[in-house]
Amino acid sequence: MTDLLISTLTQGLIYALISFGVYITYSILDFPDLGVDGTFPLGAAVTAVLLTRGVDPWLTLVAAVAVGALAGLFTGVVHVCLRVRNLLAGIITMTALFSINLQIAGSNLTVDRGTDTIFTSAPVMALLGDMTLMGRKLVVSLVLAVVIKLLLDLYFKTKSGLLLRAVGDNADLVTTLAKDRGAVKILGLVISNALVALAGCIVCHEQRSFSATMGTGQLVYGLAAVIIGVSLMNFYAASPAARGLRKIRGLRVLASPAGTTAVILGSVLYKLCIQVALSAGLPANMMKLVTAMLFLLVLVLSGRKGEAIIHA
């Protein structure tokens, strides 16, 4: 039981990186970026190739972020400069990446057990060598998710971060600030896709494999996690408990958690729901239906439709 909880938690934390990306594009920029379904395997493809060539596992993270950023740049340029609608721009990137991913990896690619991943790399073994692999996976993904969450929180408070939030909130205002809203959108897509590719990279480390179809449905996954997390957080923020905490000086931060915290929570909860459904013996073919219902339930219960949740 503990094992299952640990591995599900690990999955939730790793996939939270996708949700961070979706949080930026969909929640902040109001841009449903289907390119995610291509960027996620892109990160995995690059990682699988580099790992099999014996590149240091930690360097693959950097490489994945870089290629993800490029993919985001492409979607952004297609949308902003070539004036292609956001949904279509994402679809173009996704479609193109399918071929590119296969070009990079050759075909579905497996990394053999002898090759070091971040979970078995020297620095991790030095720190956490006493733990089981499963334990290391959890700690490393937790650290990654938390570090990225904190970096994002910091970024959202910078001038650039404020401007990014402003573009999603009121793009006309950004124009009157003499800033090119298109450039800001591209920046958002770059950051978002970099994160999604990083998620693909970590999944590749964890699964020791890249598969061309692994990206299917990842945008939907990310959306579900964001919406579940953010709406639950709204419930909480309106609850008496949160109101009580808000009155106590030192505990005020606990009363209104950041959106990024909500996103991690949503991702973990989502994976837990899937695991519960699997453990209960629900056929995998029904899983997407369960996802859709869960999605709908959260939307209805939270009493708000898409837009409102998003900008909470």
By CB under 8 A, residue 177 contacts other proteins: yes
Total number of residues that touch other proteins (CB under 8 A): 77
Q: Which of 188, 260, 226, 206 is nearest to 35 (CA)?
A: 188
Report if residue 108 touches other proteins, rule: CB under 8 A.
yes
Alpha-carbon span 90 to 76, nearest angstrom: 9
Whether 97 contacts 41, CB under 8 Å = yes
To the nearest whole angstrom, how small is the minimum distance from the Cβ of residue 73 to other proteins?
Answer: 18
The rounded distance, in Å, linking the Cα atoms of 280 and 294 is 16
Q: Which of 53, 83, 126, 130 binds other proteins (CB under 8 A)?
A: 130
In the complex, minimum distance from the CB of residue 101 to other proteins, in angstroms, rounded to a whole number: 8
Residues whose CB is less than 8 angstroms from the CB of residue 79 and which lie 6 or more positions away in sequence, other chains included: 31, 85, 86, 89, 185, 189
Under DSSP, the state recorded for 302 is T
Q: Which of 212, 228, 264, 268 binds other proteins (CB under 8 A)?
A: 212
Could you say which residues in the range 216-275 bind other proteins, by CB under 8 A?
A: 216-217, 221, 250, 253, 271, 274-275
- Segment lying near other proteins (by CB under 8 A), choices 31-39, 77-85, 96-104, 227-235: 96-104
Based on CB atoms, which residue is closest to other proteins, 208 or 304?
Answer: 208
**Binding letters toward other proteins, positions 10-29, x by CB under 8 A:** -x---x--------------
User: What is the rounded distance in angstroms from the CA atom of residue 298 to the CA atom of residue 235?
Assistant: 11
Between 132 and 239, name the residue whose CB sits nearer to other proteins.
Answer: 132
* Touching other proteins, residues 190-209 (CB under 8 A): 206-209
Name which position in 88, 151, 180, 256 contacts other proteins (CB under 8 A): 180
Measured CA to CA, the distance from residue 86 to residue 121 in angstroms comes to: 40
For residue 123, what are the contacts with CB-CB under 8 A and spacing of at least 6? 58
